[in-house]
């Protein structure tokens, strides 16, 4: 990313796909052209991304999806995240000397990979084509090879240095001990074989049999605790999505254990301010957005957990009364010296992609390993690395997100959807990937769309800020393009800020947006210039 580039918004009517890899976009369009709908295309794209961008995603990770069904105008939430091993306890972790947290690439951080079940469950409920046909593009690319895109090559090399060279079987995702270079063809016949087994046998082929055995034996060899029972017992869940009204739109997120709640909390707070009257990159506006997100993260870090293990006061957290209470804490010209979670009761390296088909069905989808290649540990002969989502568990036994066997951790990956508040018609499928940047990206692109009436590409191109949510000092990164005067003014308000340029701009996430005009059905697509991808219509 040596210099900013400009892209025009992409338009179409028959369908559209947007992703961080053009080959995934091509796969989604191909599936729709063969008669598939948004669900079929989404699974095809997820699989192709697992092949072409293993630096961010794969079968060793998790997924979440929001699906908009045009015929009913209903929104469905799919939780495809995995659970902690059932035979690893917090007491054992503590006995081994881990007090404040697990090391990021430790085999104990490996939770059950939920992506495969998520793909299959989305396809089973909403898809129209045979699963074999849906997975053929990914199977072929893995077998025949593909030219590695420039930014993917950069992050692949970082993953080689950070994880793959040191992890068990990590060499399977390298070429003679190094990452593939930009434009170099990379073949992954092991992954092709795994995908073929899933195409024929569905999710059981992954969670039982030879693939499951390879996962478990490799994890055990690395010192982890995952068992065959952990894999065989895994299942996705269909959950009730969360939504708030922001301006004329309903904004939808998956519920906890995902952090979509964070974006909704911040939007609820910001709904009481007239952001449209403030210049987009002015210090006054960015100050309000930063403070709203600081308050939202404080609540999310306290309350977001696996709802099967913790009582989460979602309704109270998203109430107008609680939003007003939190909003009142924001000083218009001064940063809060400290932010703690509130009491709502009276008395957190990922791929995001989206697709909208010609009938108006839409899928907003996130698939991720976490921290690039996750642990970097590769099940022998399988061609994918295993995630490290367990790193997000708290080791404080009193915390709602404390490690427990069979529990899902606080999850950073969050897709989003927006519908019109008055009639439920689809407005947009959207998302911004990238760890704890994701809810911040959702807030920033939603305000760009709803308050400033920007088109999707322009909304994605706008420079962003990133609050380092897990740092006590609340450091705020400002992307190149935000005026120097704004930086100085934010400092004067009490915000610790830093300027970020070059390749480090990956910190600000990589988003995709497909917007659908209610009256005409015309699709407007945008793809983040911070990634290798694109948005493209079906022709």
The pLDDT tens digits for 44-95 are 999 999 999 999 999 999 999 999 999 999 999 999 999 999 999 999 999 9
With beta carbons less than 8 A apart as the criterion, state whether 503 and 1 touch.
yes
Q: Which of 6-10, 240-244, 463-467, 525-529 has the lowest mean pLDDT?
A: 6-10
Q: How confident is the model at residue 135 (pLDDT cuts 50, 70, 90)?
A: very high
Nearest to 31 by CA among 118, 117, 119: 119
Other Cβ atoms less than 10 A from the Cβ of 395: the count is: 16
With beta carbons less than 8 A apart as the criterion, state whether 310 and 409 touch.
no
Which residues lie across from 245 on neighbouring strands? 250
Residues 413-431 have pLDDT tens digits of 999 999 999 999 999 999 9
Supply the DSSP string of 269-335, one letter for each residue. Answer: HHTTS-GGGS-TTSHHHHHHHHHHHHHHHHHHHHH-S-TTTS---HHHHTSHHHHHHHHTT-BTTB-
Catalytic annotation, residues: 350
Q: Can you give the pLDDT at residue 162?
A: 94
Average pLDDT, the chain: 95
Going by the DSSP 8-state scheme, the letter that residue 369 receives in this structure is: -
| pLDDT over 70 at 2, yes or no | no
Average pLDDT over residues 180-189: 98
Q: Can you give the pLDDT at residue 3?
A: 56
Nearest to 228 by CA among 239, 242, 214: 214
Fold topology of 239-350+430-514: Serum Albumin; Chain A, Domain 1 (1.10.246)
Q: What is the pTM of this model?
A: 0.96
Whole-angstrom Cα distance, residue 439 to residue 99? 28
Other Cβ atoms less than 10 A from the Cβ of 35: the count is: 10
Q: What percent of the chain has pLDDT over 90?
A: 91
| pLDDT over 60 at 491, yes or no | yes
| pLDDT over 90 at 346, yes or no | no
With beta carbons less than 8 A apart as the criterion, state whether 25 and 535 touch.
yes
| pLDDT over 60 at 348, yes or no | no
Q: How confident is the model at residue 471 (pLDDT cuts 50, 70, 90)?
A: low
Half-sphere exposure for 416 (CA within 13 Å, toward CB): 34
Q: Can you give the pLDDT at residue 505?
A: 83
CA 85 → CA 45, 110, 198, 234, 518, distances in Å? 29, 8, 23, 11, 46
Residues 309-322 have pLDDT tens digits of 999 999 999 999 99
More confident residue, 338 or 104: 104
Ranges in the chain annotated CATH 1.10.246.130: 239-350+430-514
């Amino acid at each position: 990313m040596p210099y900013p580039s400009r892209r025009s918004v992409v338009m179409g009517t028959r369908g559209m796909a947007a992703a961080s890899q053009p080959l995934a976009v091509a796969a989604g369009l191909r599936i729709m052209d063969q008669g598939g709908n948004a669900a079929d295309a989404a699974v095809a794209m997820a699989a192709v991304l697992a092949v072409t961008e293993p630096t961010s995603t794969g079968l060793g990770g998790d997924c979440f999806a929001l699906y908009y069904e045009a015929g009913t105008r209903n929104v469905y939430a799919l939780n495809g995240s995995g659970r902690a091993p059932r035979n690893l306890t917090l007491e054992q972790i503590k006995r081994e000397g881990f007090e404040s947290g697990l090391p990021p690439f430790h085999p104990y951080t490996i939770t059950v990979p939920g992506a495969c079940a998520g793909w299959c469950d989305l396809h089973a409920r909403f898809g129209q084509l045979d699963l074999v046909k849906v997975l053929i593009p990914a199977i072929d690319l893995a077998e025949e090879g593909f030219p590695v895109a420039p930014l993917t090559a950069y992050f692949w090399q970082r993953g080689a240095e950070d994880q793959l060279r040191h992890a068990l079987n990590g060499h399977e995702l390298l070429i003679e001990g190094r990452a593939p270079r930009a434009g170099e063809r990379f073949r992954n016949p092991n992954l092709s074989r795994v995908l073929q087994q899933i195409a024929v046998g569905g999710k059981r082929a992954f969670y039982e049999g030879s693939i499951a055995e390879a996962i478990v034996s490799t994890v055990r060899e690395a010192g982890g605790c995952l068992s065959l029972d952990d894999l065989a017992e895994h299942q996705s869940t269909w959950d009730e999505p969360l939504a708030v009204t922001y301006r004329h739109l309903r904004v939808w997120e998956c519920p906890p254990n995902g952090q979509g709640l964070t974006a909704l909390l911040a939007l609820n707070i910001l709904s009481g301010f007239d952001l449209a009257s403030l210049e987009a990159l002015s210090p006054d506006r960015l100050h309000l957005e930063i403070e709203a997100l600081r308050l939202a993260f404080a609540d999310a870090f306290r309350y977001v957990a696996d709802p099967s293990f913790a009582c989460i006061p979602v309704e109270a957290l998203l109430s107008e009364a609680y939003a007003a209470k939190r909003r009142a804490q924001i000083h218009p010209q001064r940063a809060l010296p400290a932010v703690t979670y509130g009491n709502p009761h009276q008395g957190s390296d990922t791929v995001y992609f989206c697709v909208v088909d010609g009938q108006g069905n839409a899928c907003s989808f996130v698939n991720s390993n976490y921290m690039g290649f996750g642990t970097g540990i590769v099940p022998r002969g399988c061609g994918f690395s295993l995630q490290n989502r367990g790193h997000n568990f708290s080791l404080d036994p009193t915390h709602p997100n404390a490690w427990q066997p069979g529990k899902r951790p606080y999850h950073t990956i969050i897709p989003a959807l927006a519908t019109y508040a008055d009639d439920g018609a689809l407005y947009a499928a959207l998302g911004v990937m990238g760890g704890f940047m994701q809810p911040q990206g959702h807030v920033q692109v939603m305000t760009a769309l709803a308050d400033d009436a920007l088109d999707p590409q322009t909304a994605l191109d706008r420079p962003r800020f990133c609050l380092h949510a897990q740092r006590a000092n609340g450091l705020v990164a400002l992307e190149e393009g935000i005026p120097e005067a704004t930086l100085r003014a934010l400092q004067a308000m009490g915000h610790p800020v830093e300027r970020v340029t070059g390749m480090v701009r990956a910190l600000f996430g990589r988003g995709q947006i497909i917007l659908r005009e209610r009256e005409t059905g015309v699709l407007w697509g945008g793809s983040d210039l911070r990634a290798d991808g694109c948005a493209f219509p079906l022709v």
